[in-house]
Amino acid sequence: MWFMSKISDRLRQIEENIAAACARAGRDTSEVKVVVVTKTAPLASVKEVVELGYIELGENRVQRLKQVAQDIAEFLGEGNSKEKSSVGVKWHMIGHLQRNKVKQVLRITSIIHSVDTLRLAEEINTTSSKLGIRPDILLQVNCSGEPQKYGVPVGAATHLAEQFAGMENLRLTGLMTMAPLTRDKDVVRACFLRAKELFEEIKLEGLAGAQFTQLSMGMSQDYEIAVEEGATILRIGSAIFAG
Ligand SMILES: *Cc1c(COP(=O)(O)O)cnc(C)c1O
């Protein structure tokens, strides 16, 4: 192509920034995956990122997830053709989830980042059993200590991880966290560091099994810090779509 769209320009810049952060931290870029958060993007832009090869997409609201997942499936020819497209996208549910919406979500995604209570995990486990599936879930941790945020307090996370790990119809694959909204990079870094320490502790103690490998943290404002502190999944939206 003789021109680059704004979206592809921004994605290329983000990939460069991730590579630089990996280099600073002595990490390999293959250890870090970008989930493109499409919640603010018009459908044309979502199609564009898919065509650019980004097929792991994230949404934080069930209604929007259902709509955009269906639109993209139709775009890829899964909606009306019998032959399934080989480039199917993988949706990540990243936002707060109510128990009465679990079934709808499990019909679309098999990765839920935002599981932060025993009751929600139990609902996912029971529903998955009925559907005959075994989705990946991440335990959402509140690493900032801000009371209004979702996520289990750091002090309660290990115990909850152990309980999740005992449920047969889900796979606890890691932790998810969100840094506080602040320009103070030290505060953000301390938050990610706390999540990383907790992640390592759960791994070291063998509480969650061999599939416990993912640390989902880092968004548009702070993904470079997250990479430096050990993130394996970045959830990036506005840095790709806004402007
Ligand atoms: C919106 C959202 C993101 C992406 O945020 P940006 O700042 O747009 O990159 C990541 N994680 C969660 C849980 C979100 O709701």
Concatenated DSSP letters of 125-146: HHHHHHHT---EEEEEEE-S--
Question: What is the CATH number for 128?
Answer: 3.20.20.10
Q: How confident is the model at residue 55 (pLDDT cuts 50, 70, 90)?
A: very high
Testing ligand 1's pocket by substitution, the residue of 35, 94, 219 carrying the most ligand atoms inside 8 A of its CB is 219
In this prediction, residues 46-53 reach a mean pLDDT of 96
Q: How confident is the model at residue 77 (pLDDT cuts 50, 70, 90)?
A: confident
> Domain range spanning residue 119?
2-241
Question: What is the position in ligand 1's atom list of the atom closest to the CA of 94?
Answer: 13
Measure 153 CA to ligand 1 centroid, in angstroms: 20
Question: What is the position in ligand 1's atom list of the atom closest to the CA of 176?
Answer: 13
Question: What is the position in ligand 1's atom list of the atom closest to the CA of 239?
Answer: 9
Measure CA 224 to chain center.
16
Q: How confident is the model at residue 221 (pLDDT cuts 50, 70, 90)?
A: very high
> Could you give the CA distance from residue 155 to residue 137 in angstroms, rounded to a whole number?
20
The conformation of residue 100, written as its DSSP 8-state character, comes to G
Q: How confident is the model at residue 3 (pLDDT cuts 50, 70, 90)?
A: low
| CA torsion angle 27 28 31 36 (round to 10) | 100
Among residues of the chain, what percentage have pLDDT more than 90?
Answer: 86
Question: What is the position in ligand 1's atom list of the atom closest to the CA of 37?
Answer: 4
The predicted pLDDT at position 239 comes to 97
Nearest CA to ligand 1 atom 11: 235
End-to-end CA distance of the chain: 22
The conformation of residue 236, written as its DSSP 8-state character, comes to E
Measure CA 228 to chain center.
18
Q: How confident is the model at residue 78 (pLDDT cuts 50, 70, 90)?
A: low
> Could you give the CA distance from residue 113 to residue 136 in angstroms, rounded to a whole number?
8
pTM for this predicted structure? 0.94
pLDDT at 1 over 80: no
**Between 208 and 62, whose confidence is greater?**
62
What domain count does the chain have?
A: 1
Measure 206 CA to ligand 1 centroid, in angstroms: 30
Measure 93 CA to ligand 1 centroid, in angstroms: 11
Protein residues whose CB sits closer than 6 Å to any atom of ligand 1: 37, 39, 60, 94-95, 178, 219-221, 235-239
